[in-house]
Amino acid sequence: MLALTDHDSLDGLAAAREAAGALDGFRLIDGIELTCLWERRVVHLLGLGVDPEAPGWAEYLANLRRLREERAERIAHKLVKAGLPDLLEVARRNAGDGQIGRPHFAQALVDMGRVSTAQQAFDCWLGRGKVGDVKALWPTLEEAVAQVKRARGFAVIAHPTKYNLTFSRLRTLVKDMLAAGGDGIEVSYPGVTPNHLRDLQLLAEREALWASAGSDFHSPEQRWTALGRFPAFKSTRHLLDVLIPNYTV
């Protein structure tokens, strides 16, 4: 089984369902990964088991697309001021019909020979605190949770240790997510340490959260993670227990 959770887009789900239907015994879970703000910090909220036909998606995602396009224009402008060529059209071509983001600028830098890898592009130009790290006025965490719940999905905080939060702050994020009607946290994903995985599982049990896992896979060109790969774990509160009743993890 696999959940497709594209960033701020449901566009890939129809093709994914068609492909999944051709595979005997394969189960596809409809999902999305929403960009949102919590206390002026960007966090990612997974919507798992969502109904892509539910009311509100068209308007919500159109707003995100507009915000991403405006941010892309500002990223391109800042990179030009820093001495790089205008990468906007190349980044748009890299994005295709998908939502444009910093990875598409990173690939543009690789294609032009300015850096050797996408990670180097983030380290030098696009990562946190770099010139291409442009903020946008994303929807709030509460708004993102509300849209997932309108679509009858489960709202889950993605890769929670990647936001450079202390565990005290992370617990506050979790409490605010629960207060908004959310459901769980991702406890296993590439880069999570064994100690953090254990701490996240304990947090899930303590706060009665549903626990999920993900490979954070984006494309075959990004070799730092593989489709469906994440550290093994067991949980008494695995999200699959409610997403797929009677499934044994």
Nearest Cα to 217, choosing from 7, 49, 1, 15? 7
Q: How many residues in total does the chain contain?
A: 249
Would the pLDDT of 220 be above 90? no
Q: What's the mean pLDDT in 15-23?
A: 94
Q: Are 72 and 25 contained in the same domain?
A: no
Q: Are 233 and 197 in contact (CB under 8 A)?
A: yes
Q: Are 102 and 208 contained in the same domain?
A: no
Q: Are 146 and 229 contained in the same domain?
A: yes
Would the pLDDT of 99 be above 90? no
Residue 8, CA distances (Å) to 60, 147, 152, 232, 243 in order: 9, 12, 17, 27, 21
Per the structure, the complete domain to which residue 227 belongs is given by 2-59+138-243
Q: Are 166 and 229 contained in the same domain?
A: yes
Q: Are 197 and 231 contained in the same domain?
A: yes
Measure CA 205 to chain center.
23
Q: Are 170 and 200 in contact (CB under 8 A)?
A: no
Tokens of 98: 């998908």
Q: Residue 32 corresponds to which amino acid?
A: I
Q: What's the mean pLDDT in 43-52?
A: 97
> H or E element: which one contains 41?
strand 41-48
Q: Is 152 exposed, middle or buried (0-12, 13-18, 19+ CB in 10 A)?
A: exposed
CATH code for the domain in which residue 79 is found: 1.10.150.650
Q: Are 97 and 149 contained in the same domain?
A: no
pLDDT, tens digit, 9 for 90 and up, residues 154-177: 999 999 999 999 999 999 999 999
